[in-house]
Copies of this chain bind each other. A is one copy, B any other.
């Protein structure tokens, strides 16, 4: 049966993150997965949007897409949104993959775009993985995998 990934995005973000999710899903050739979209003004509106996507629109997993600004108040907003996103997951027993890119992560708009693209794309694949089962991602566990930048690799003992 078809699975649904809920995608909550914001007017505040400066990149069309939804489009990147769509491309990643297309590239994955997972024809049995559909997207359900919910757009809100800013990141603090994302938690309830995700909860509604899960409870009212029957999504099996969600992605919360956002681009917090670079001022202290923006960091606080992102923290509040993140706490809400964790709560949504604990209430619904569904994953909500948070895909946040902070405005100060890139040195310029080009770099910022690339980080957004890489992080959103890779996390779409992670969401697809989580839909398949709890050990689907285990072969990549403990390997220093990153989204938005290059992997840092595994540290092995003696």
Q: What is the CA–CA distance of A139 and B27 in the complex, to the nearest angstrom?
A: 24
Known: A82-B80, A95-B40. A15 touches B51 (CB 8 A): no
Contacts of A35-92 to chain B: CB distance below 8 A:
37-41, 44-45, 47-49, 51-53, 55-57, 73, 75-77, 79-91
Q: Using A79-B76, A112-B155 as known contacts, say yes or no to A93 and B14 having CB atoms under 8 A apart.
A: no
A51 and B90 within 8 A (CB): yes
Q: Is A135 an interface residue when CB atoms closer than 8 A count as contact?
A: yes
Q: How far is the CB of A15 from chain B (nearest CB, A)?
A: 5
Kindly supply a per-residue 1/0 record for chain A positions 10-50, scoring 1 wherever the CB is within 8 Å of any chain B CB and 0 otherwise: 11111111110000000000000000011111001101110
User: Please, could you name 17 A-B residue pairs with CB atoms under 8 Å apart, sorted by A?
Assistant: A9-B142, A11-B126, A11-B142, A11-B145, A12-B146, A15-B157, A38-B134, A40-B130, A41-B97, A53-B134, A75-B76, A76-B79, A77-B82, A84-B90, A86-B87, A112-B155, A117-B157
Chain A contact residues, CB within 8 Å of chain B: 9-19, 37-41, 44-45, 47-49, 51-53, 55-57, 73, 75-77, 79-91, 93-98, 102, 109, 112-114, 117, 123, 126, 130, 134-138, 140-147, 152-157
Return the 4 tightest CB-CB contacts between A and B, nearest first.
A48-B89, A16-B142, A11-B145, A84-B86
